[in-house]
A = this chain, B = another copy of it.
């Protein structure tokens, strides 16, 4: 870290800071400017509270120099992390598509969607059995029954399952059924949960918190990595801003920024990042154009009856169209959508362009 002294700092104050820097095992390096003295604290200070120095007399402010994450950083691990997800690889050159309903509602609903998204080319099935809902009066998910239905859907379609876990003590149960543990945006800094997920053997899909910085997202990944689980997929799902024309603001910059700072795969969730189905296709295309390694998308055959997130779910026929558009964008940048190991026949021919209603 760099400690910037006030313009009126005394020599004694400077000496006190230097002494303190050395007391915590770092080396101090002075740089006297015309208006300010700077004190560099040299050494690995990632575990040291910078607030200690900020409160010393004569200190103006403290500037961190080292990035606070290590295992998640590309400096530490220059090559892309690539790992298999039941037949496809994520983090490599091919685009991975995860699709399914917001909530598991019933066997019929889930099987209909699972078959539809597999036929359209999806590589994994998403669906919530435990739902974080803003209102205690809203549908909270089917719980373990939902997990069983998801396992049944995997049985039927071959698609691996991505589903959310909301509490540390639930990790073993959810990991029993799921192929990938999802940690939702509201739990991105639920450190007890990150810790538990880090001790699990399942890959983790970690969603960015709605007001988390990219650095905080990488620190949350660091929690999981540092507890031994190296298979983390980062997911941009929109951030909260003043703009209210959309549910969230897709931080498309986050895609190339995360790719440059970290070696972990990064995907985008255009359903949550826009909140309206009309905008899912253009934003899905943009994500791939910007370099995302995949997408996670909500699909529901009857959005007007969905128990949650109806307004942002694609109908299966629009999802087919999305896959085709995404494929063309992927090819335009020298990548491709991964072939589906589970699909038996080709998707139906595409619809022609944007329509006003799904």
Interface residues of chain A, those whose CB is within 8 Å of chain B, are 2, 4, 7-8, 20, 29, 31-36, 38, 40, 42-44, 46-47, 49-57, 63, 65-66, 68-69, 75, 132-140, 166-170, 186-187, 189-195, 210-211, 213-216, 219, 222-223, 226-227, 239-246, 249-257, 260-261, 273-274, 276-279, 282-283, 285-291, 303-313, 325, 328-329, 331-334, 353, 357-358
A20-B304, A250-B253 are known contacts; what are 15 more A-B pairs with Cβ within 8 Å? Answer: A7-B75, A36-B65, A46-B137, A49-B139, A137-B226, A166-B190, A167-B169, A215-B245, A244-B244, A250-B252, A252-B283, A253-B274, A253-B283, A289-B329, A329-B333
Say yes or no: B132 contacts A191, CB within 8 Å. yes
Say yes or no: A135 contacts B286, CB within 8 Å. no
- CA A75 to CA B313, docked complex, whole Å: 25
Contacts of A65 in B (CB 8 A): 4, 33, 36, 38
- CA A187 to CA B189, docked complex, whole Å: 8
Chain B CB within 10 A, most for which of A134, A211, A251, A308: A134
Say yes or no: B49 contacts A138, CB within 8 Å. yes
Contacts of A328 in B (CB 8 A): 332-333
**Shortest distance between the CB of A221 and any CB in chain B (Å):** 10
Closest residue of B by beta carbon distance from A6: B75
Closest residue of B by beta carbon distance from A40: B31
Say yes or no: A55 contacts B277, CB within 8 Å. yes
Say yes or no: B329 contacts A214, CB within 8 Å. no
- CA A276 to CA B246, docked complex, whole Å: 25
Closest residue of B by beta carbon distance from A242: B240
Say yes or no: A138 contacts B47, CB within 8 Å. yes
